[in-house]
Amino acid sequence: MQARHITSLALVGALGFLGVSEVVRAQVVEHRSAIFVLVDLSQTWHRKDTLTRNEALLKRVADGVVALAGRTDRPTFVAFIGIESASMARTLICEATYHPTLIRGTKRRVINKATELGDFLGTCSKGALSSPTAGWTDISGALDLMQRQMGDEHQATERYAVVLSDMKEERQYKAMVEPNLHGYRILVAYRVLPEDDRDPNGFKRRLSEWRDRLTRWGASVTMVVDTGLVGEAIAGLARPK
């Protein structure tokens, strides 16, 4: 993975208003692993009437990411990405580095405790849920933005992603991006929409097409309904040591 600047609970862009203001001087580090959480911000997923459900889901996701981070090689890059209009042109919702020990002898800290990582993920979740509802659902673009955070694809870096979405892609431009997801282990925590209950075959076809697409792009794919054991499924993504 490309070298990235380390901060202590450093959030980018829109998260500044959440009160996370103290940032240590940046260092450069090569990450050994990366965990991304992609959150659907479209009208079918990110609605006022689903806020409580989404909050509970993101809490389970945070628990799963903390467990997964404890099983990966560190330093671990952790980031949230919005699935929205023209996702590939957006910035990350938040980012930080998780590492349990000091780096290069410095006394400056990154996130080095599981409790701190959990707090950071909670802040990321609030940032995602306070984002405006998007008019489009560019899942492919969000995956492209994710993979562009990576450097040399041949580097031995563990790569994980959690996609929270109904997987109903609606894009305002026709050109299809094809992100390089080689080496990624992806968990799709899908949401069943009311319209899917009326057309179960169409719903199954949509999920099957996404599984085939992600696999073609190089990823190992697991799918689970977002009312299920999402946290446990995230922790289970860890590569055997």
Confidence of residue 176 (pLDDT cuts 50, 70, 90): confident
Estimate to the nearest angstrom the gap between the alpha carbon of 212 and the chain centroid: 20
Give me the number of domains the chain comprises.
1
Please report the pLDDT score of residue 27 as a whole number.
53
- Has residue 240 been placed in a domain? no
Extract the runs of DSSP E, i.e. beta strands, from 175-217.
184-190
- Two tokens, residue 160: 């994980």
Mean pLDDT within 111-116: 92
User: Which pTM does this prediction carry?
Assistant: 0.85
List, in sequence order, every residue forming a beta bridge with 67; answer none if it has no partner.
none
CA distance 186 to 16: 29
Query: For 117-138, what is each residue's pLDDT tens digit?
Result: 999 999 999 999 999 999 888 9
Q: Which domain holds residue 61?
A: 4-235
| pLDDT exceeds cutoff 70 at 103 | no
- Has residue 167 been placed in a domain? yes
Question: Do 46 and 84 form a contact (C-beta atoms < 8 A)?
Answer: no
Query: For 18-74, what is each residue's pLDDT tens digit?
Result: 444 344 444 556 789 999 999 999 999 999 999 999 999 999 999 999 999 999 998
- Has residue 62 been placed in a domain? yes
CATH number of the domain enclosing 73: 3.40.50.410
